[in-house]
Copies of this chain bind each other. A is one copy, B any other.
């Protein structure tokens, strides 16, 4: 049907096949290179991680030691001074308590960062080096299996080559047998045509017939022989073609299986446990960091609690208790009777009674005025104290802004210097605070003077009131003996 020029020559077919095989071999080699490169990348990553954690561990240890040294420097100072001053914990003042807790937290941080070092060195790095071993071992084993897979593939394609060649051979033989048969058929036809002519010229050359009959027989015999040969070759060719076709299907199926499943399985063998082990390593690192954080948080909470309990009232009482002989009120001044004077009360009998009564009323009205005046001072004082308190308790301590991670790292640097703690703001606030404070002290002095005067006048007033009250009672009661006698 198709002309001979369109047929691929044997050489072409072989060349094509070999090119295809070469391409597959190249891919297989490249696949190993890819797996090897992947393993090398992993080993490099693991090595980088080990180096990283080794150096990080060193940094944690340096940090831990610095913190330890820092805490110890102040703790030893406290120990030596404390033996002198604060032997008893009951006298621990709240700011000192905060300070001790800050030092305690520093020691805690020191220990935690030392633990971090320990975990990095003795756990994380050990894991990483084990994973490296695993990667090497698994790559080796996977390559072994891969090589076997490749051998198998090449074996299959070699077989294909062989059966293809066999098919080609038998087909060539089949063609050759066919052409020989055709040639015999042609000769037979020729003979047949001659026989036609012969029958027409039968009368002319009757003497030729015996020779011709033997020739026809010979040709027929040859044709039969060639027919048998052709059939035999055709069967061989059919069997070879069938074999070739079956092997072709098997080869394609094997190659397809390799590319679709086996390569993937091979990569899985290389990967075996890599991600899981790496995850566990990272989780160990995370566990350490999270635990450090939790510990840190607990410590900070203790400090925060102590800061919440900073209490000037309680500290004042502690100080006054500590030095109670200095702050306990002295004995009252007692009336000192002169030379056995038996009168030890204000005497309100006539003739001094009128004068005392007048003095009492004067005191009463003076006190009323003074109290109103001093109450005004007190109100101003309270308002000023409130203003001061507002200034002193302003919630200016939130530094979250400084920890916002914006794109540029530059913005971090100026975090604390731009806002509330800028020099201008500080100066303004402090000037304002000190002005208020000054006013408070002025008012406080005024108030103390006023209340001192009130206290003294009130004491006199109260004594007079009592005396005069008793005098009045005495007057309207029964007759009494002389003033100097009616009390011890």
Contacts and interface: CB of A to CB of B under 8 A. Distances in A.
Interface in A186-219: none
Nearest to A262: B448
Given A111-B409, A175-B339, A426-B126, A253 B399 contact: no
Contacts of A417: 118, 122
B310 A279 contact: yes
Nearest to A169: B338
A375 to B, nearest CB: 16
Interface stretch (A6-14, A221-229, A365-373, A472-480): A6-14
A162 interface: no
Given A13-B336, A249-B459, A249-B462, A397 B278 contact: no
Contact of A291 (B172, B326, B402): B402
A294 B31 CA distance: 46
Given A148-B445, A283-B397, A286-B304, A59 B49 contact: no
Contacts of A4: 340
A400 B262 contact: no
A452 B254 contact: yes
A296 B286 CA distance: 11
Interface residues of A, number: 205
Nearest to A12: B336
Interface in A128-170: 130, 137-138, 141, 145, 148-149, 152, 156-157, 160, 164, 167-168
A112 B415 CA distance: 11
Given A253-B455, A292-B403, A444-B269, A2 B340 contact: yes
Interface string A424-463: 0010001000100100110011001101100111111011
B405 A295 contact: yes
